[in-house]
Structures are given as C-alpha cells and as structure tokens.
Structure 1
C-alpha cells in the first residue's frame, strides 16, 4: 500500500512529495499534465519561500529581489520596504516547476499521468480510482475538485467579497528595479516582478471584467514604460478567494491553494504552500494527521490577517487612494508589515 498519494503535481504537491520521500514514506504523485506546467502567477518568491526551497535542496535560478515598492498609479508617489533577512527571487513559474520536478525524480518519486476523479475513504486507507494509500494529500489547486467532492468548499458571500481575478503577461524589457512593484489604481493592482535580464512579469489583480490592455490603461505610468515591448499571451486565474471549512477530512489532507486562499495581494502563496507541505508531512510522521489543521491555521495566520486587512481597505473607496501615501508616511509600519510576510 502507498503511504502517501499526492493528487496534483504543482509546487505544493511536489514539495509534499519531496518531504515525504525524505522522511522514508512511499509516495506517488498523480498529475495529468506534463511538466513544466505554467499558470497565472505573480512569480515573486518571498525570502521565506527561498529558504524553504533551500531546505528541500531545490536550486532555481532567478532575479534577486531586495524588497517591495508600493506605487500610486495616478502620480507615481511610492513607498519602499527592504527585506531585513534574506532576499526574494523573481522566478518563472515553469522554472520553479522544473526544479521541483527534478528534485522529486532524484528521490525516486513516481509521477503518474492521471487525473483522479473519485476518492473514497475506509477505516485504514483511501482509494483513488483504484490506487490505495494510507493517506491522500489534495494539492489540486485553487478550485480543488477533491475539496468540492468532499463538501469542504465554503461559498463566499458576494455582498462581502467581490470576486477578484488575476491576469498575467510577460514583457521583454530590462527590469528597472530590484524590487517588486505594486501599482495601486482605483480599480486594481499591477504587480511588476523582475524575472531576468530582459524580462518582467506584470500581473493585474482586479474585480473588473475587462481585457488585459484595458486593465493596464488604469496604470498610465506603467503602461508608458511597457509601450512597444514584446509581450506574451495573457494567462488568467480566479476567482481568487477560496474558502475551505477544514484542511483535514479523515485520511485526506489539503495543501497549497486547495487548502484555502484569500488573495494574491501579498504574494505569499508559494511560501505558505512550501511551509504547509513540511508541516503536513511532520504531522503524518508523528501519527497526528488531525494536528495539521491547527498547524495550518498557525502558519497562515499572518497571511490571512494582513491580506484580509488590505482587501478590506481596497474595498473602501475612500481608503484605496490613501494606501500608498500611508505606507510612505509610516515607513516603519510598512517595513514591519512586509517583513512579517517575508
């Protein structure tokens, strides 16, 4: 019998598989798509994510990131916060996936090209389309079919939370900063991540339904800088907010976006996924799978609090234009908030 069956071979699933294999567990990953898999992503790794990759012995090349800069889309006013410990990395999602895939393969973790459609639980094992395992980890993404099938998805209240979406495109331009820039407009945010000598990624987060070019026009200073640059097709994702009523359901555990997601606003998705994967395997090794729920809540507390607070401020028309000026006026507070997440 397999010790650990991981459904989903993205960063969260592969990190779980790597931790499991290094702990002596018999691990199998189910992922129908061939690696590397691309997706809409800000592609900025916070220092915590860089450290977590190092602990997995995963080496990935990227553009060093020194911190975060908030920019007012209207007048260019800005505030900066530098990472106090370590550095971030701007990394193409495909390169990150390739590096994690190679590390899992080196540890002998098989990746089965299969999409799991049916999961049933028994007293001592889980059955997934005929594969039997002691535990199953669902790492099948933002709109996790496993989470929905087990009835763990909580529908957000549209009156309280407008659905938000992410749109990403790459531009062939020289990065003009070693900071991740977050441009704030009345309608959304644009994340600019340096990715290489001649490449930046620009991800737009918004509730407005419009084309990427129409959204980019809300950021005139940024649009002017990118004018005429070669660009890639647009990738999208959303709605971003996904709530789960639990991270543990019997012998099924959830990690990464499948465990629940607030928003991409603070860029913590990969770091939280990597930290959660390590904690999940530790709980299984100790024979305490139920302890993972509390561990996940502890690990994600800062992310949920700060991201939720920023989203609330974003939803208040009077507060939105004051976010960047407030960060500039209170630099120590801004610096502290960024480094709590970093």
Structure 2
C-alpha cells in the first residue's frame, strides 16, 4: 500500500553522497526522504582523503568535519618520488564515520526524514515512482511514492541491478582494504606508495592517527600486502591498530546509463573507476548537485549530460593511469616519470582536485 502523496525526491542510500543529494534537494525547497537501513555512522573502506573541491563542496552545504589537513599528493617509488601541491586550498583527511556524523546532523537540521528501510523493488509511472521497501530482518515495509528517485546506494547498487543497468567490466578486478593506526602523521601529503602489484595510500586523519589503504588486483590479507612496502611496514611495526581491517570490491563498476525514467544513479552507483588520488567524495557531490539540478528543471534525462560534465576529467585521467599501470614494467616507471615531469603530475592532481 502506498502511503501519502509523493515526495519530490526519494534518496536511496544514506552514505555521504546520498546525504549530499538530500541536502542539495532540501536547499531547493524540495520535499525529501532518505532510505538507509543501517543505523549509526556508516563506515566504508576508502582512502578518506577529501580533495580541495570536496572540502569546498561540503563547506557550501554547511558541513565542516574534523580531520587533518594535507597539502597535496606525493607518489613514492623505490628510487624516486613526485610531489604535487594543491594550488587552491588544502585537502582534508577525515574518518568516514566523522564525515557521516556531520552530514547526518546537517540533514536532520534540514528536516529531512531518514527512514530505516531498504529498497526492495520499484515501479515507474508517468508522474511518479513507487518504491517497495523492506525493514530489518527482511520484513516488508511501506510502499513509498516519489516524483524522482536518486539512487546513491553504492558500488554494488541494488537499484542499478534492478534496472538492469549493470555493464560488463573487463580486466582483473581490484579490491581495497583499509585500517587505521595510532601514530602522528609523518607527511603533510597523502602518500601513495607504488609496489609491483599494489598501491598503498597513507592519509593523515587526525593529529595522532593515519589511515592506510591498499588497492590491488591480488587478493591477500592487508598484512601480506604491507610486506611489499617495507618502509611503511617498519613505520607501522610498533603502532597500535585503532580500527579493524575493512574491505571493498570489486572496485571497477560500470553502468549502461545513469538515467532510467525518473530514477537517477548517483555516486558509486553510477559507476566507479577506482581513484588514485582521493577524488571520490568530490566527484560524488558534483554528481549529486547535477542530479538535483536536473530534477529541479523537471528534466531528469538532463542529468546524463550533467553526469558527463561532472565526471569526464576524472574518468579520463584516472582511467588512463589505471590502464597504464597494469603492466609491471610500466608501474615501475610511473613514479620516475612523474618525478621527471612534475608539471604534468601537478596539473593532473590539481585538475582532479578542483571543484567541479
């Protein structure tokens, strides 16, 4: 049974991008509801580094999380290093739970209702979408009506699957793992260490905590991956782990398109090229802004073009780098090449880091 008149926007997924969708919609005076079955701060295995564009976007939404500032990105290899400082603003290392807490508080202040429900199915009509839901333990929930649905339900989006918008992905799947350690940051950059088969990302997230994330197409425990980064392993040897290992993947996801009728895919749900500098939140918020703009204009299909405008720089630069670093010999040459042409490396990092 469908209860009440349709809201303007139903957001599926209460992670940072979903909550960003809700805040943008509320700022335009739209009625909004969010579906998020998980309680408390929602965590996720990610690098936790906000690029300057993401920091600025959050500030515009009234969200200023606690964290640790960083000046740029530093690539480290066995024999060379390359540094790119941000030209406009600083980045911010933020625990995912802290970011979610701050966004949740702002959403509550905006009067947006967050329902402890998950999407179970949907039916599209000319003027609305009816969304079937389920509660805890799979119990049937209410059927909700919305004029538009913004699906921000993550890497393995149930909405994308329901709409049959998954697109095959070639190549070896990559996976990510993350853990936090009690130690004062030793760098004022996000350090990216390049190994033979993996990258390790070290992000300062507090004055006494760093987050360590590893991305690789080789599935192994985090402790095993770290043996490939001897200097980092030695730094962490006597440090207390202050979080459990969290994992995510396969990371590479694609969608056939981002709009199906009145349903729009936003953030990782729309597709994901695993980031090499930490632009994920910035990119997701840019997509959220574009999706809400299309809804406000009364032309949901317009979001397809907005999505391309928000993502093409990241997709082009990150995708090309991801492909170029698959062969081991090229991976070994990447950091020396970046060190030899620092202006190119700096331009790429700043292009990815700027506000969309």
* Distance in 2, Cα, partners of 1:137 & 1:222: 40
1:2 match: 7
Q: What is residue 97 of structure 2 aligned with on the other side?
A: 94
Alignment check: 8 A CA contact 2:73 2:277 kept: no
1:248 aligns with 2:273: no
Question: Which runs of no fewer than 5 residues in structure 2 stay unpaired?
Answer: 1-5, 133-142
> 1:209, 1:257 → 2: CA distance?
22
Match of 1:104 among 100, 103, 107: 107
Distance 1:317 1:94 in 2: 35
- How far did 1:311 drift? 0.9
| 1:240–1:264 CA contact under 8 A, matched in 2 | no
Q: 1:265 offset after TM fit, Å?
A: 1.9
**Could you tell me how far apart the structure 2 residues matched to 1:189 and 1:19 are?**
34
TM-fit CA distance, 1:167: 0.3
Where does residue 275 of structure 1 map in the other structure?
286
Asked if 1:287 is matched to 2:290, the reply is no
Shift of 1:35: 2.5
- The aligned counterpart of 2:151 is 138
Cα RMSD (Å) of the superposition? Answer: 0.8
State whether residues 197 and 328 of structure 2, in contact with CA within 8 Å, keep that contact through their aligned partners in structure 1.
Answer: no
Matches within 5 A, 1:54-203: 54-72=59-77, 74-75=78-79, 77-129=80-132, 130-157=143-170, 161-203=171-213
In 2, the alpha carbon distance for the partners of 1:153 and 1:35 equals 29
What's the TM-score, normalizing by structure 1? 0.97
Q: Does the aligned pair in 2 maintain the 1:139–1:255 contact within 8 Å?
A: yes
- Shift in Å at residue 289 of structure 1? 1.0
Q: TM-score, normalization: structure 2?
A: 0.93
Q: For the residues of structure 2 that align with 1:102 and 1:48, how far apart are their CA atoms?
A: 21
Aligned length: 337
CA–CA distance in structure 2, aligned partners of residues 150 and 266 of structure 1:
31
> What is aligned with 2:233?
223
2:32/2:113 contact within 8 Å kept: yes
Q: Note the residue ranges of structure 1 that are not aligned, 5 or more in a row.
A: none
Contact 2:192 2:200 in 1 (8 A): yes
2:246 pairs with one of 228, 235, 239: 235
Shift, 1:193, TM fit: 0.1
CA distance in 2, matches of 1:335, 1:146: 37
Partner SS for 2:33: strand
Distance 1:264 1:334 in 2: 15
